[in-house]
Structure 1
Amino acid sequence: MKTLYDVQQLLKKFNIYVYVGKRIWDIEVMALELDHLHQAQLITQDEFIQAKLVLTQQHRIEEQKNNGRDL
């Protein structure tokens, strides 16, 4: 799992579709949904860790984009 699309496909397997309207918010909601799947033991530890790493990286990228707009 290397991209945000891969994480979306994982969530899609559980009929979880996330669209809030802002990419950074979508990433945050995906992280919450991922936590719920992990707590329910519906995904493996490896899937969870890989997906969380992707989401963390993408969240940082979006924060950097947004901080650039504030200047």
Structure 2
Amino acid sequence: MKTLYDVQQLLKKYGILVHVGKRIWDIELMAIELDNINRAGLIDKHDYMMAKLVLNHEHEIETKKEKDPKNHGI
């Protein structure tokens, strides 16, 4: 699991589709849903950790974009 798309596909397997309208909000909601699936014991620990790493990385990128709008092409 390497991309946000991979995480979306993982969540889709659990019937979870996320589209709030703003990328950073989508990432945050995906993280919440992923935590819920983990708490319920439905997801493999490795898949959970890899998805969290991807989401954290993507969130960091979006946060940097918001702080410096001139640098939106990271």
1:9 is matched with which residue? 9
1:53 is matched with which residue? 53
Q: Is 1:35 equivalent to 2:18 in the alignment?
A: no
Runs of 4+ aligned structure 1 residues displaced above 2 Å come to none
Q: In the alignment, residue 35 of structure 1 is paired with which amino acid?
A: D
SS at match of 2:36: helix
Q: Is 1:19 equivalent to 2:43 in the alignment?
A: no
RMSD of aligned residue pairs (Cα, Å): 1.1
The unaligned stretches of length 5 or more in structure 1 are none
Q: When the two structures are aligned, how many residues end up with a matched partner?
A: 70
What fraction of aligned residue pairs are identical, expressed as a percent?
59
Shift of 1:66: 0.6
SS at match of 1:15: coil
The unaligned stretches of length 5 or more in structure 2 are none
Alpha-carbon distance in 1 for matches of 2:59, 2:30: 11
TM-score normalized with structure 2 length? 0.92
SS at match of 2:2: coil
SS at match of 1:2: coil
Alpha-carbon distance in 2 for matches of 1:15, 1:68: 35
Shift of 1:69: 2.2
